[in-house]
Amino acid sequence: MAEDILINFTPQETRVAVMQQGVVQELHIERTASRGIVGNIYLGKVVRILPGMQSAFIDVGLERTAFLHVADILMPREPGENGSGHGHGAAKPIERILSEGQSLLVQVIKDPIGTKGARLSTQISIAGRMLVYLPQEKHIGISQRIGDEQERLALKGRLTRLVPEDEPGGFIVRTMAEGATDDELARDIEYLRRIWRDIRDAARSSAPPALLYQELSLGQRVLRDFVNPETARIVIDSRENFQKLTQFAEVYTPTVLELLEHYTGERPLFDLHGVEEEIEKALARRVELKSGGYLIMDQTEAMTTIDVNTGGFVGHRNFDDTIFKTNLEAAHVIARQLRLRNLGGIIIIDFIDMETPEHRDAVLAEFNKALARDHTRMTVNGFTALGLVEMTRKRTRESLAHVLCEPCPTCGGRGEVKTARTVTYEILRELLREARQFNAREYRVIAAPAVIDLYLDEESQSLAMLSDFIGKPISLQAEPGYSQEQYDIVLL
């Protein structure tokens, strides 16, 4: 299926939309003031060790200290162990591996999210166009996405011939290496080794905390990571950045040069392809299905819940058939929404209850098929006893909503506000408290127009009764600038 990649550049941010058949499949946003740091390599300093959590806090020069768990510390293999190089994960307790004040070479594997600092690993990996370089390892791995066994063996054999035995480091072959020539692979190997040499030189001459290597910008990562055999074109709406990406491609990704296009139309690129509208939809809680059904998506700090509803879809035959068709459509829409919104962590999906096991199996199979185009690591479990589908999706950066939005100052992120009547009763109770504490000549209530209207109409008797009870007049003032829950009581 042909794929277009649209890149919208402004001085403040870069936005990327991946399109298939005119429909947005993925959205990526990177702001100049807050670039993601996954992949960055730092020389850090251990500031605190927590034996109880088997973790350490590392100062890498960011606003918050970063977090290193013992499982993310790469340890040398003990003599007598099978294999060579390093072992994965530490067998010793962290307090016997690290000490406070120690300098440490670390790489960010997860951006700071919410109140949590960045997550680190001491296992360094540097991504190229076709290969990932593992300078501390000594083996060659093949991406799981390359399914053909013969192709896997052929790639491993070719890379083994290209990498001398006495050279340090190992490699993982990426899917982009399928069909690559030996010259292209050799160029990638040299490029990655050059980066590692620069990092080591910088580490020797720097004092912690120090940034040694910064991951590519979003525009450059598009050329390195996003392009695949289905990509038909990469459309860029900035002449300056078109030239920069062309220069980058000439050096590092020459195969994508012919895909680059400079958009010069009058209408904004994202408006022309309906991307702006799609971004607005991706921030909504409710997602409409073409059949008339809909999804309700709620994102919390720990997990995301997705509820499937039939809505106005009644079907043409029987109710079971209606439910089945709605769930099949929802499976595809949910998979797309997970990519669009970049939702990660635990995800719970409440499909509409299906009576027959065949229908459940078919929906689950369709859901897994729809998720197959996602590049992010996921695990999907079958239906639970309660009829829910549980899954996890690796979270490496903030979701779209967290990048573009903040909690509503009116409702405090609840998604609801108190009714005007609830606020009127709150004010009456507050007036009684104030009257018992202070001996004012008069009490003035300043509140939103909807609340004042209730006092002038349906709740006028309640206000008059309270005024008689406290023996003081109560005046009202409508303030259009106040939110429905906001009010003040002024003592005159």
- The set of residues, in sequence order, having a beta carbon less than 8 Å from that of 187 and lying 6+ positions away, is none
pLDDT at 90: 57
pLDDT at 179: 73
Using N-to-C axis directions, what is the helix angle for 357-371 and 319-341, rounded to 10°?
Answer: 20
pLDDT at 80: 46
296: enclosing H helix or E strand: strand 294-299
Per-residue confidence in pLDDT tens, the chain, 492 aa: 789 999 999 989 999 999 998 899 999 998 887 788 889 999 999 999 999 999 999 999 988 999 999 999 987 655 444 444 445 555 689 999 999 999 999 999 988 887 788 999 999 999 887 889 999 888 888 887 777 788 888 888 888 888 877 778 889 988 777 777 888 788 888 888 888 998 999 999 999 999 999 988 999 989 888 888 789 999 999 999 999 999 988 877 788 899 999 999 999 999 999 999 999 989 999 999 988 889 999 988 778 999 998 876 555 567 788 888 899 999 999 999 999 999 988 999 999 998 888 999 999 999 999 998 887 888 998 888 888 999 999 876 778 888 888 888 888 877 888 999 999 999 999 999 999 998 899 999 999 999 999 999 999 999 999 999 999 999 999 999 999 999 999 998
Query: CA-CA-CA-CA torsion for 152, 155, 156, 159, nearest 10 degrees?
Result: -170
Contact 74, 122 (CB under 8 A): yes
pLDDT at 191: 83
Q: Long-range contacts of range 368-371, CB-CB < 8 Å, 24 or more positions apart?
A: 370/331, 370/332, 370/334, 370/335, 370/336, 371/335, 371/338
What is the token pair recorded at 164? 């001398």
Nearest residue to 260 via CA among 233, 221, 239, 296: 233
Distance CA(353)–CA(13), nearest Å, equals 43
pLDDT at 78: 52
Alpha carbon 234 to chain centroid, angstroms: 23
Distance CA(1)–CA(172), nearest Å, equals 27
Contact 275, 17 (CB under 8 A): yes
Contact 140, 130 (CB under 8 A): no
pTM equals 0.74
What is the token pair recorded at 354? 């299906």
pLDDT at 439: 87
For CA atoms 238, 273, 402, 226, give the dihedral sign. Answer: negative
- The set of residues, in sequence order, having a beta carbon less than 8 Å from that of 384 and lying 6+ positions away, is 390
Distance CA(442)–CA(467), nearest Å, equals 10
- DSSP 3-state of 136: coil
pLDDT at 89: 59
Contact 242, 236 (CB under 8 A): yes
Distance CA(26)–CA(221), nearest Å, equals 14
41 burial via Cβ count (<10 Å: 0-12, 13-18, 19+): buried
Nearest residue to 102 via CA among 64, 48, 40: 48
* Cα radius of gyration (the chain): 29
